[in-house]
Amino acid sequence: MSETLPLFPLGLVLLPGNRVPLHIFEDRYRVMIAECVENKSELGIVFGTDDDFKPVGCAARVTDIVNRFADGRLNIVIRGTDRIRLVERHDDKAYISGIVQRIEDDADVPDSTLVEETRLRYEEALKLSIGWYSTSGQDIAPAELSYTIAAALNLPPEQQQSLLEQTSVGERFKVINEVLRQTLDGLR
């Protein structure tokens, strides 16, 4: 199923479930954000520039308007919802928009041992880097966990984009697990 979303090219990759603060200062994005807030609708965050951005991005919702400045600028927080793929770009408004399709994960079920090993490495990395870690006590689905860990790793945008485009949860875990293994070697 296709839908039309406003698109916001940025020099960052938004992953599903991740929250990101943004400072909105350009007139066209002020209009976009105002429409999204008023209509309670989503926008698409795509990695790149107006003239050259990746076709796979992440839909997002504005979760908080932190500050409204007298000159119209805004500080907001967005949260990634679903991965999207651009089907057709439109330039008929002040901002870029386009027809997009939601991207579902493959039906593969990641190896439970790999998921648990990755989760334990992530917890150890947090303990070694910040000194403590407390689990939330809730079970997180593997797909969501893969994005949560990937967002926390502060990977280069190109590597985050690759993970965003990966439709196999198991393959995402293999990449994340290897990054964590290398990170722990350094932290230890």
Question: The tokens of 76 are what?
Answer: 């907001």
* pLDDT tens, residue by residue, 4-56: 999 999 999 999 999 999 999 999 999 999 999 999 999 999 999 999 999 99
Question: How many beta carbons lie within 10 A of that of residue 47, not counting itself?
Answer: 22
Altogether, the residues listed in the chain come to a count of: 188
pLDDT for the residue numbered 132: 61
Q: Shortest CA distance to 106 belongs to which of 176, 165, 178, 174?
A: 165
* pLDDT tens, residue by residue, 150-165: 998 889 999 999 999 9
* pLDDT tens, residue by residue, 88-109: 999 999 999 999 999 999 998 8
* 184-to-4, 33, 34, 106, 118 alpha-carbon distances in Å: 42, 40, 43, 29, 11
pLDDT for the residue numbered 138: 62
Identify residue 67 by its one-letter amino acid code.
Answer: N
At residue 63, the 3 state secondary structure works out as strand
To the nearest whole number, what is the mean pLDDT of the chain? 93
Question: The tokens of 39 are what?
Answer: 């209509």
Does an H or E element contain 149, and which?
helix 142-152
Among 26-35, 39-48, 63-72, 117-126, which is the least confidently predicted range? Answer: 117-126
User: Does residue 33 come out as left (phi exceeding 0), alpha (psi in the -120 to 50 range) or beta?
Assistant: alpha
At residue 14, the 3 state secondary structure works out as coil
**How distant is the alpha carbon of residue 98 from its chain centre?**
18
Separation of alpha carbons 79 and 58, rounded Å: 9
